[in-house]
Structure 1
């Protein structure tokens, strides 16, 4: 993969907070044009904990793929050696990672279908996978070291943006004129609206068949359109429960397009790991 430089970041690179501090910080920044054609945003996470035992972080993620640069005390994340540049495919269940005592991640979240449009190939093989970026993206030698050498998130964002813009430049016209990618982006925009609880109305709005949506989402997103729709509605369910709502789970299920309380419970439990009633009570 050619990450020799990344494995030994330049002197002075800030990988994580100094010992004796306790922080868990996140940040999100916009991406410049034309990278925003395929990228949604830049994000970063930095942590240091007082406890020496590993900590499991779990997130109900959105249907996105990511290019990340990661470093951690102990030199391993996701079972891979770090510092390194990694590509995360779409996660169909809860994203779970055992965090060491300290670390840093900076990354670019691609729009649904954005990585496929950038590469000109499907991304179904990346679903539920974390792989060295060199297996997916060309020219990543030294990328992790270059990103980690910067002292602030804006500069780290700019390093990642320059690399991705170099890949995008020769394909920019194809990406902008790609009808499949445009259809997927518009479909996902509609699916984010809570009132959309079935695929039929989404397909009708886009003047395509359900079979066409299935083919496009498998290629561009790495999951079925029904899975993406259901993930957004599960996100809505979690948000409602976190906000103290959902006292009537049957009513919540109906509002999110589930056939009944039992249907919501099965779908919620399969992904989150506990039924909504226990999640609402504080069990995680």
Structure 2
């Protein structure tokens, strides 16, 4: 499984969080499942701040199934009491099942009518078993619902997945033209794919990945200068990283680093 803290701005504040790989039969539809569990002392609130992945999510909690559209900015959730959630980070190929134009549901979460999914996942998460077992059963129940309701990725959806993989794993991808060249298609086709399967411009997808990586390096490598991080991630200069970081998160890279002393958060 990939680095579990990527996209999480303050990992030390997290409740228990598990990322579980999607079973092979749905790997073209779900990137992974994420399962937070929390038990916050009475009168306390735990704020979880994220620079989310540029993807949609389907989330189940005890009373709700929600579809979350593509995020454009830093987000947070305040946790209280005791609870859990089981979320599926959706691959681009899965998105058209839920929404025709994902750009119209940016930064929103709406109830999704899937009572059978909620019942099955809740039964697994509340079973009297050890954590590894009940989380695995929750993922199995979630996966079975996806197989039954969504089916296999379409050929076009698979191209959307390939674009996502390219952006997310190749640090040399810093411009939309790079995507077009690697996938042997026009820039306009790349833009249309991004509109249909992501709901975000392709340049936004590139920027999100680089900003997540920048935040990770700022937190975990306190001895590396911001200028060196900018160079490593392919920014033209230190100022470009600083400006994008501030615009997306609302504070400077230096302030973020100070708020995570020693890479451990506060």
What TM-score, normalized to structure 1? Answer: 0.77
Distance 1:223 1:120 in 2: 14
Cα-to-partner distance string for 1:211-254 (whole Å, 9 max, x where unaligned): 21111101110101100001111111111111124743233223
Q: 1:246 to 1:236 in 2, by over 3 A?
A: farther
Taking a change above 3 Å as real, the CA distance of residues 183 and 143 of structure 1, as seen in their structure-2 partners, is closer
In 1, are the aligned partners of 2:30 and 2:89 still within 8 Å (CA)? Answer: yes
Cα 1:62–1:198 change in 2 (3 A) is same
SS in structure 2 at match of 1:37: coil
**What is the rounded CA distance, in whole Å, between the counterparts of 1:230 and 1:248 in structure 2?**
20
Secondary structure of the residue aligned to 1:269 is: helix
Q: Which residue, out of 111, 131, 136, partners 1:132?
A: 111
* 1:46-57 superposed matches below 5 A: 46-57=37-48
1:31 aligns with 2:38: no
Secondary structure, counterpart of 1:149 in structure 2: helix
Distance in 2, matches of 1:24 and 1:246, equals 27
SS at match of 1:259: coil
- Contact (CA 8 Å) 1:240, 1:246: kept in 2 or not? no
Gaps of 5+ in 2: 1-13, 128-133
* Residue 177 (structure 1) aligns with: 155
What residue in structure 1 maps to residue 117 of structure 2?
A: 143
Query: Is the aligned partner of 1:241 residue 2:212?
Result: no
SS at match of 1:34: helix
**Structure 1 or 2: larger helix share?**
2
Query: 2 CA distance for matches of 1:125 and 1:102?
Result: 33
Contact residue 180 and residue 190 of structure 2 kept, 8 A:
yes
Structure 1 residue 281 displacement after superposition = 1.6
Q: 2 CA distance for matches of 1:218 and 1:268?
A: 24
Aligned residues: 239
In the TM superposition, residue 101 of structure 1 has moved relative to its aligned partner by 2.2
CA offsets 1:150-191 (integer angstroms, 9 cap, x no match): 22111111221222111123xx3xx3422xx23322222222
**2:69 paired residue number:** 89
- Determine if the alignment matches structure 1 residue 202 to structure 2 residue 182: no
Contact 1:39 1:109 (8 Å CA) reproduced: yes
How far apart, in 1, do the equivalents of 2:121 and 2:72 lie?
Answer: 28
Unaligned runs of 5+ in 1: 1-22, 72-82, 135-139
Rounded Cα–Cα distance in structure 1 between residues aligned with 2:140 and 2:201: 33
| Secondary structure class of the residue paired with 1:154 | helix
**Cα displacement (A) at 1:117:** 4.3
Kept in 1, the 8 Å contact 2:55–2:89? The answer is yes
Corresponding residue number in structure 2 for 1:252: 229
CA contact (8 A) 1:244 1:280 kept: no
Q: Are 1:168 and 2:147 an aligned pair?
A: no
**Greater mean deviation of Cα atoms: 58-67 or 224-233:** 58-67
Residue aligned with 1:41, SS: strand
Aligned twin of 1:108: 88
Partner of residue 153, structure 1: 135
- Please, what is the CA RMSD of the aligned residues? 2.1
Tell me how far 1:51 sits from its aligned partner.
Answer: 4.9
